[in-house]
Amino acid sequence: MKRYVLACHEGAPNGPAPKLLSEQGIDRILHRTILGWSPNIGLYGAGGPGFWGFKLAETDQYPEEWLILTVWNAGDCLLFDGEKGEVVAAEFIAMHPDAGVEAFYQHYVARINEITEKVVGSKIIEACITPASSEILFQQADRTHRLEIPKGAGSSLGRSWQSEENQRDAWVLSEQNELWA
């Protein structure tokens, strides 16, 4: 039975656990500017689990910190503006068998650049995270962008969430983007 939500520690395998967003409250992330993001956060000793994280600007109440989705290969389980966050190499090559690995990397970089343009400098204007789904809205100027893990994501995104896994436990806040899973 494969689990997707991974327990984490900050900075080192025996470091402190990051703060759960469910315990800190959604208000902590609302109206904060996104300074940067990464689809490659996290280490587990043999590579990276592919967590997605958003660097939140400091406010009067909160330090600069990262909002991180601690789900194995997070980009494979979420949608950004209705499109899969990330297409893995095997999936891309299956869809484009004659394209080759170089075409996959070009596609990957183009997707990262597209999301970067939409997210960096935006503000989180709304967020709803339940045990079965997640939705975060980013606004930049007059455009709104949606990051979501819809209910029933298992069928639409190739993921089968375990019944005991809770998306509210998957979102954490960390002052650094080094998480050990």
Reading the chain (181 residues) residue by residue, the pLDDT tens digits are 456 788 889 988 889 999 999 999 999 999 999 999 999 998 887 778 889 999 999 999 999 999 999 988 888 888 999 998 887 777 777 888 888 788 888 988 999 999 999 999 999 999 999 988 899 999 999 999 999 987 765 444 555 566 677 889 999 999 988 898 8
CA dist 59 and 40 (Å) reads 25
CA dist 59 and 155 (Å) reads 39
Q: Is residue 160 part of a domain?
A: yes
Strands (E), the chain: 9-10, 19-20, 34-41, 51-56, 65-69, 79-80, 83-84, 123-129, 134-140, 143-149, 171-174, 179-180
Q: Is residue 2 part of a domain?
A: no
**How many structural domains are present in the chain?**
1
**Whole-number pLDDT of residue 4:** 75
Q: Which long-range contacts (CB under 8 A, 24 or more apart) does 164-167 make?
A: 165/3, 165/4, 165/5, 166/5, 166/131, 167/5, 167/129, 167/130, 167/131, 167/132, 167/133, 167/134
Sheet strand arrangement including 143-149? 83-84, 79-80, 143-149, 134-140, 123-129
Contact between 9 and 180 (Cβ < 8 Å): yes
Both tokens of residue 60?
């009067």
Q: Is residue 1 part of a domain?
A: no
**Whole-number pLDDT of residue 87:** 79
Contact between 79 and 149 (Cβ < 8 Å): yes
Q: Is residue 86 part of a domain?
A: yes
**Whole-number pLDDT of residue 156:** 47
Contact between 77 and 157 (Cβ < 8 Å): yes
Both tokens of residue 169?
């436990």
Q: Is residue 49 part of a domain?
A: yes
**Whole-number pLDDT of residue 96:** 85
Q: Is residue 4 part of a domain?
A: no
Q: Is residue 118 part of a domain?
A: yes
Range of the structural domain that residue 86 is part of? 9-180
**Whole-number pLDDT of residue 3:** 63
CA dist 38 and 112 (Å) reads 9
Q: Is residue 32 part of a domain?
A: yes
**Whole-number pLDDT of residue 153:** 52
